[in-house]
Amino acid sequence: MFGISTGAAIGMLGAALAVCLSGAGSARGTGVAGQAGTGLLSEDPSKFGKVLILQVIPGTQGLYGLVVGFMCLLRMGVLDGTFADLAFVDGCRYLAACLPIAIGGGISAVAQGRVAAGSINLLAKKPDDWSKGMVLCITVEFYAILSLLASLLMLIRI
């Protein structure tokens, strides 16, 4: 029978939330951008490369969440075989460390997907200005990076 302490379960919940919420946000964001992209590509397939770049940008938050989730599991000893039951308070620390990317990554990915969709509309109407739309997408990325940084700094200190 697999026994796990409450602290370890809470820590694993944090890792799961980091991966799942940021991943779900990225799926939604890239989906929104992809829908806008297919509309443009049905009219002008030659813009595929630029549309692809704009669609991929909201997917980075899912990668950030995956990195934090793996780092959390690694620090808990789940991945390298040194797993030991955690105290409740330590599990709460891991959960708290995973929340910035879980919440910030999930929300910013959806927002970034909307900006990417708008940028694809800009590409359709003013092809020479598509890089302006990309800069707007990257502005949203800054907040995802701050969430990633907050989570990593907290994990390092546990």
pLDDT value of position 5? 79
Q: Domains in the chain, ordered, with CATH?
A: 6-157 (1.20.120.610)
State the distance between the two ends of the chain, measured CA to CA, in whole angstroms.
Answer: 29
How many Å apart are CA 122 and CA 120, to the nearest integer?
5
Distances (CA, A) of 1 to 4, 111: 10, 43
pLDDT value of position 100? 98
Helix ranges (H only) for 1-158 are 6-43, 48-56, 60-76, 88-99, 106-125, 130-157
Q: Which amino acid is at 85?
A: D
Asked if 9 and 95 count as a contact pair (C-beta separation under 8 A), the reply is no
Residues 6+ apart with CB under 8 A from 90: 7, 11, 158
How does pLDDT run across 18-39, given as a tens digit for each residue? 999 999 999 999 999 999 999 9
Give the chain's mean pLDDT. Answer: 94
How confident is the chain (158 residues) per 10-residue block, as mean pLDDT? 76 97 97 95 94 95 97 91 85 97 97 97 93 94 97 95
pLDDT value of position 83? 79
How many Å apart are CA 86 and CA 63, to the nearest integer?
26
